[in-house]
Amino acid sequence: MNTPVIKQLSENKEFFYAAALILLIPAAFILNTALLIRGLNDTFDTELTSKANLATSVIGSTLKDSLADTKILGKSVAEVTNSSKEIEGLTILNFKDGQPNVLASGEGGEALSTESVLLTKLAWATGQPYTTRLKVLNYEGKTSRVWQVSLPITGVRNSNKNAKSQGEETEVLGIVNLKVSGEKTDVLISKLERDAVIFTVVTLVIVILLLLNHFRFFGYARLFQKLKEVDEMKDNFISLASHELRTPVTALRGYASLLIEDLRRGDLQTALSDSVKIARNSDGINELVNDLLDVSRIEQKRLKLQIQNIDLTQSVSTVIQELKVQADQKGLTLNYVRPTSPLVIAADAQKLKQILVNLIGNAIKYTEKGEVFISHEVYGNQVKTLIKDSGIGIPAEEIPNLFEKFHRVQNEATSKIRGTGLGLWITKQLVEIMAGKILVESIQNTGTKIIISFPIKRG
């Protein structure tokens, strides 16, 4: 049997499919845009870092021979700084007694900022170049990124040109601090981000509009499915009416004719017997009509219940008393193990009786010999009612379809037993409407056990 969640998904699969598309497709677009922007940022960061390192290496090589003359060095630094708008600052410095000593700079007071000095000390101490990314405010008050490269300028301790070949060690003569602006890149990335977001939003709107339009088609498909179900129900009803109504109606006409003849002859005893048969056949028609009315009320959600606290054991006892005649006619034993204390549940008294009449009545109807055993079990906040018979049982492959409308087990054992195929469907709907559950366990040619459970009222 399907759980309520699975049943809900099965009955509304088109809706959930469309809802999933509306959520997943925009999510995919947003994720793709986010990954694209992140990839662009990483690519530009890598390119700018490489560009800054290359520029610093070229500048360091060019200015190496001018370290001894600060005037020439200052002039060269000014020329380099003015040659490109992307160069935010260029400073040449060394350290004396652990303190930075600016040899030439185009940065003014920013040459010895905290960030610059820390990176410069690291490059001076290790003899290795270092690169970092800073965030600064431009003249418009906007935050932009700046890449600072601190590159050591090295030389040999001995001025002899062959000193290096003779094993002399090199030393750090100075540090080139170059700051390269990433403002143009930031502007470009911002434009790309903005264009990507606009494109994504426009695409999402188009996709959602298409999906909403397709939603209508899903609705049409759902309507078509409903029409097919209605058509099948119509066919089933016609088949049911032709089969179930023809027999009692024909019998009614026959017995009515016999009754008239009996009365004409004055044979009251035979007339009484025919009247009983007429009443029995009319009950069958009335049962079918009531079942169809119940199906209509349940499907249209027009079924009205009067929920109240009811003693389940009293309801079972009442139904057993009413059905005892049927059981006695077949030689069956109705065995009810009634608890000593009441089992109170919240239910509609009339509908609860209808459930019990259907289930206990079916147990009697499909049992030729033996007994029908009714008992209760209490588990936590649930009370279970077990209706077990020693009847013909149900084939395993038929159990999943047992609670479908108009479904009846068709075999030799059931061919002579009348039924509408609606009783169990109605019973299951009524049980679930009153917050209960129903379960079937059966072995063919051995018997069937029906279990219905309801929340129990305590205190």
The single residue listed with the structure tokens 């494109």 is 199
Based on the domain organization, do 367 and 398 belong to the same domain? yes
Residue at 274 is within a domain = yes
Q: What is the number of alpha carbons within 13 Å of residue 374 lying toward its C-beta?
A: 25
H runs (alpha helix) in 241-340? 246-265, 268-299, 312-329
What DSSP string runs through 99-165?
EEEEEEESSGGGGG-HHHHHHHHHHHHH---EEEEEEEE-TTS-EEEEEEEEEEEEEESS--TTTTT
Residue at 140 is within a domain = yes
Based on the domain organization, do 175 and 235 belong to the same domain? no
**Given this model, what pLDDT does residue 50 score?**
78
**Given this model, what pLDDT does residue 337 score?**
93
CA atoms of 221 and 14, how far apart (whole Å) = 8
Based on the domain organization, do 362 and 452 belong to the same domain? yes
Residue at 2 is within a domain = no
Based on the domain organization, do 290 and 331 belong to the same domain? no
Based on the domain organization, do 316 and 453 belong to the same domain? yes
The β-bridge partners of 383 are 378, 454
Residue 173, domain extent: 13-155+169-181
Q: How far is CA 298 from CA 233, 238, 293, 295, in A?
A: 15, 20, 9, 5
**Residues 339 and 379: beta-carbon distance below 8 Å:** no
Based on the domain organization, do 316 and 444 belong to the same domain? yes
Residues in the chain: 459
Spatial CA neighbour of 386 closest among 332, 339, 344, 423:
339
Residue at 6 is within a domain = no
| 377: amino acid identity, one letter | E
Based on the domain organization, do 253 and 201 belong to the same domain? yes
Q: Which of 299, 330, 358 is the last residue of a domain?
A: 299
Q: Which residues contact 290 (CB under 8 A, 6 or more apart)?
A: none
Q: How many domains in the chain?
A: 3
Q: What is the CATH number of the domain that holds 19?
A: 3.30.450.20
**Given this model, what pLDDT does residue 237 score?**
64
For the chain, how long is the longest CA-to-CA vector? 153
Based on the domain organization, do 413 and 443 belong to the same domain? yes
Spatial CA neighbour of 339 closest among 378, 297, 300, 307:
378
Residue at 186 is within a domain = no
**Given this model, what pLDDT does residue 163 score?**
46
CA atoms of 388 and 73, how far apart (whole Å) = 106
Would you tell me how many other CB atoms lie within 10 Å of the CB of residue 19?
Answer: 13
Per-residue pLDDT of the chain (459 residues; tens, 9 = 90+): 445 555 555 556 666 776 677 677 777 777 887 787 788 777 777 776 777 777 777 777 777 777 777 788 888 888 887 877 777 788 888 888 788 888 888 777 676 776 778 888 888 888 888 888 777 666 666 677 788 888 888 876 555 545 445 555 678 888 888 888 777 777 777 787 787 778 778 877 887 777 777 667 666 767 777 777 777 767 766 666 666 666 677 777 887 888 888 788 888 888 888 788 787 777 777 777 777 777 778 877 888 889 999 999 999 999 999 999 889 999 999 999 999 899 999 999 999 999 999 999 989 988 988 999 999 999 889 999 999 999 888 888 888 888 887 777 766 666 666 666 788 888 999 999 999 999 999 888 889 999 999 999 876
Based on the domain organization, do 26 and 173 belong to the same domain? yes
**Given this model, what pLDDT does residue 454 score?**
95
What DSSP string runs through 29-70?
HHHHHHHHHHHHHHHHHHHHHHHHHHHHHHHHHHHGGGTT-H
Q: What is the CATH number of the domain that holds 201?
A: 1.10.287.130
Can you tell me whether residue 371 is helix, strand or coil? strand
Based on the domain organization, do 326 and 416 belong to the same domain? yes
Look at strands 143-156 and 170-181 and give their pairing.
Answer: antiparallel
Residue at 68 is within a domain = yes
The answer to whether the Cα torsion of 307, 311, 313, 319 is positive or negative is: negative
- Cut 0.85: pTM above it: no
Which secondary-structure segment (H or E) carries 384? Answer: strand 382-389
